[in-house]
Amino acid sequence: MSLSVKTLNAGILLDLGHKVAHASEGPIDRPWCERVAQRLRGEFGNLIAAFPPHAQRATAMARLLGLQVPLCHRILSGTLASGGAAPVLGTFPGTTGLSMFVHAAKRIQSVPPAPIERAEAAIKEFAELIAHSGGSQRRLLDALNQAQPTDGKHPGPAGLRLDNARRLAFEAAVTQIGCSTEQLIGLRVYTPAATPTCPVDLDVTALVGRVGFKRTSEAMPFVLYHAASAGKPSDGPAGPHTFLIEDFCTQPLPNVLIEQRNDKRIGIVDANFEHTEAVDIFAGPFFHNSVVTVSNGRAYLNCGTLLSTPTRNLLTDVYVPRAWAAELNCTAAIYRDGPLGGLNGPPAQRWFDRLPIPLLPSLLGPGLANAHSDLHARHEELTAKAFQFARADPADYVGFRLAVAHPILQTHYLCFERSIEPQAQTRDQTKA
C-alpha cells in the first residue's frame, strides 16, 4: 500500500476521534446502514461510470488503476449488489480497499474531481458507521444478520445468522436424507470451441468429485452425473466404472449403473454397494460442446456446480482461455435448480430463482501455481489431469475459484459473462 493511501485512511480515523475509541455495542442502526449501503453503491457506481468505457469491467479496470483484479471485481460487484444493507455492505471491501481504489482513480486525468470527492465522503460515513457498530466491518455485518427481521417486526435470534443457518440446514439435511459429503469438487476447463456457434463459443471438459462421501445402507443411490451427452467415444463402453476416475477413487470401486434416456446418459452408484467408511468418488471426464449462450451482445457461461447431496464445503474451479478472460466479469450468485431446468443465459432472466446471498470468487491466475487447495489434498494433481483430458496447456488459461461453506442444496453457484464485438454474429437462445 502506498504512503498516500495509508495517510488517507489515517485521516478518516482521526476525523472520527473519540467515536472510534467508544464504538457502540448497542442495537444496530438499520436505517443508517441502509443509507450508507445505498450511498456506497451509488457513489462508486458513478465513479466507475466516469472511467473510460473500455475500463468499466474488473480486469480492464485493474489494469487501468494498477490494482488487483479481485479488489476491482469486489467494488464493481458492490455497485451491482441487490437487496438491503447486509448483502451490499458484505459485497464491498472495507474502507482500506475502497480508499485504495479512490486514490488510484485520482491518477486518471479524464475522471473529474466531483465523483471522487463524493466517493471519499461515502467512505468516511462508512467508517463512522463501522465505528458505531462494533469497530469492524465483520462485526457490523454480524449485527446486521442477527437483526434480520423474521416477521417484519421482531429481529430473529442470533443463532439464525446466515452462516449458522446454513450449518443447521446441512445437519438437518444429513439426518433427513441419510448421506453427506465433506467436500464437493467441481473442476472445469473451457477450451475454444471446435465447431463454434458464436464468435466466443467454448467447449468444456468437466470433472466432479465427492471427498468423504458417507451414506447409510438405507439411503438412495446417488447420481454421479446427469444429462451427460451420450454416444461420445471418449466416454468408453457402457458398464461398471465407466464414469469413474479410478485413481482418485477409494478402493474397492463401486459399480456404476449406466442408463440412457432421451439421448442422455446417467451414471448411478449401485444401491447394493456396501462401504461403511467415507469414500472419495470422482467422475469424468464429461465433454460438452458449444456451451456459451449469447444474448444482446453479451456472452454468458453458466458453470456452477450443482449441489445434489448435503455438503460441508463446495470447491468450484473454472479455467478459461486468457483471451476469453480479458473481458470477463465474474458473477457469483446462488440460483436454484427448478422445474424450468438448469441456469443458462443472462442471470436477470432467472431473477425469480436467485437467492440474496453475496459471494465473491477468487482469482487463481494463470497456470497451476495456485491450483492447490486445503480442502482436497490432491487438487493440483486433479487439475493437471483435467487439462490432460482437455488436451490444453495450463499456461494458456486463467483460473477462478469459489469456495462455500455449507452450500445450499439444489443450487448453482457461478456465472461468467463478457462482451462481444457488436458486429459479431450472435446466438439468442436458452438451452434446455
Give the gyration radius of the chain's Cα atoms.
23
332 in Cβ contact with 360 (< 8 Å):
yes
Q: Which residues contact 11 (CB under 8 A, 6 or more apart)?
A: none
Q: Does pLDDT of 221 surpass 90?
A: no
Q: Does pLDDT of 388 surpass 90?
A: yes
Q: pLDDT higher for 6 or 205?
A: 205
Q: Which residues contact 176 (CB under 8 A, 6 or more apart)?
A: none
Q: pLDDT higher for 84 or 153?
A: 84
Q: Does pLDDT of 344 surpass 80?
A: no
Taking phi over 0 as left and psi of -120 to 50 as alpha, with beta for the rest, 303 belongs to alpha
Report the C-alpha gap between 125 and 405 in whole angstroms: 31
Q: How many CB atoms lie within 10 A of CB 10?
A: 10
Q: What pLDDT shows up at residue 2?
A: 33
Q: Does pLDDT of 381 surpass 90?
A: yes
Taking phi over 0 as left and psi of -120 to 50 as alpha, with beta for the rest, 383 belongs to alpha
Q: What share of the chain is helix, strand, coil (3-state, %, to 5)?
A: 35, 25, 35
Amino acid of residue 382: L
Please give the share of the chain, as a percent, with pLDDT higher than 70: 69
SS3 65: helix
Q: Does pLDDT of 378 surpass 80?
A: yes
Confidence of residue 392 (pLDDT cuts 50, 70, 90): very high
Q: What pLDDT shows up at residue 11?
A: 36
294 in Cβ contact with 198 (< 8 Å):
yes
CA distance readout (Å), 317 to 44, 390, 399, 403: 29, 15, 7, 9
pLDDT tens, position by position, 266-323: 677 776 776 667 889 898 888 888 888 888 778 888 887 778 889 999 999 999 998 8
Q: Does pLDDT of 38 surpass 80?
A: yes
In terms of average pLDDT, the best of 172-181, 199-208, 210-219 is: 199-208
Confidence of residue 80 (pLDDT cuts 50, 70, 90): confident
Q: Identify the structural domains of the chain with CATH numbers, from first to last.
A: 3-158 (no CATH), 168-419 (2.60.40)
Confidence of residue 330 (pLDDT cuts 50, 70, 90): low
Average pLDDT over residues 82-105: 87
